[in-house]
Structure 1
Amino acid sequence: MKQLLVFVLFAALFCWLMFSPIYKHVLVIRQALLQQEADYMLEIGASGRYGYVDGGMVQESRIRLSQYGFNEAYLEYDINSTSGAESNNPAAPLPRGTGLRLRISYPYENLLDIDRLIGLNSPSANARISGGGMKMSEYVPD
């Protein structure tokens, strides 16, 4: 009985040691992709041509991220400005010097549940990884 218990504990530890680097790598890649997408959207949205991030840009972003395995329905976009003005209205772009903030988040999707094998708590069901930032608008009206 003692040998069986040692075997079960060793098997659990061995599984965790084998798969831990793989799923942690997936987590790091997901976070990096979210940050890369947020940086790209801020670069385009805050440019002198736009001054906003609208629904069309968000939809294109969802499609790009879904090509990397993200579920479009789980992606959340939080877009706002430092002045409180609408940051998603093409008819009223943010003027130069106004900050455009963007945050893209995605749930962990039980990615860290294997940590429970060694006694670590996994994140809560509503915990999310995210990428985001702020860029000053460069839009100048004609």
Structure 2
Amino acid sequence: MKQLLVFVLFAGIFCWLMFSPIYKHVWVIRQALLQQEADYLLEIGASGRYGYIDGAMVGESRTRLASYGFQPAMLIYEVGSTTGQEGDDPSSPLPRGTGLKLVIRYPYEGLLNIDRLIGVEPPSADARMAAAGMKMSEYVP
């Protein structure tokens, strides 16, 4: 009986040792892609040409991230500014020197559930990874 118990415990730890790095790698890559997309949107949106991040830019971003395997409907975008002015309104772009803020959130989708094999509780189903940034607007009316 002891041998069976040792085998079951060893098998669980062995599976975790083999597959956990793969899931952690996917998590790191997803986080990096989200941050790269946030930086790109801020660079474009805060440029002298725009001064905002509107729905069309967010739609293009969803399409780009979908090409990497993200589910577009699960992406949450939060656009704001340092002054409280809307950062997603093309009719009133943020003037030069105003900070344009962006947060992109995406759920973990059970990615870290394998950690249960060693007794570590994974993030809840509501938890989301996030990428954020702020860039000063360069738009001059």
How far is the alpha carbon of 1:8 from its aligned partner? 0.6
CA distance in 1, matches of 2:44, 2:73: 23
Secondary structure, in 3 states, of the residue corresponding to 2:70? Answer: coil
Partner of 1:98: 98
TM-score, structure 1 normalization: 0.98
Partner of 1:11: 11
How far is the alpha carbon of 1:86 from its aligned partner? 1.4
Q: Which moved more, 1:34-43 or 1:118-127?
A: 118-127
Give unpaired runs (5+ residues) of structure 1: none
CA distance in 2, matches of 1:89, 1:102: 14
Code of the aligned partner of 2:99: G
Partner of 2:82: 82
Deviations 1:38-84 (A, max 9, x none): 00000000000000000000000000000000000110001001111
Partner of 1:44: 44
TM-score, structure 2 normalization: 0.99
Where do 4+ consecutive residues of structure 1 move more than 4 Å? none
Deviations 1:83-129 (A, max 9, x none): 11111111110000000000001000000100000000111111111
Give unpaired runs (5+ residues) of structure 2: none
Aligned residues: 141
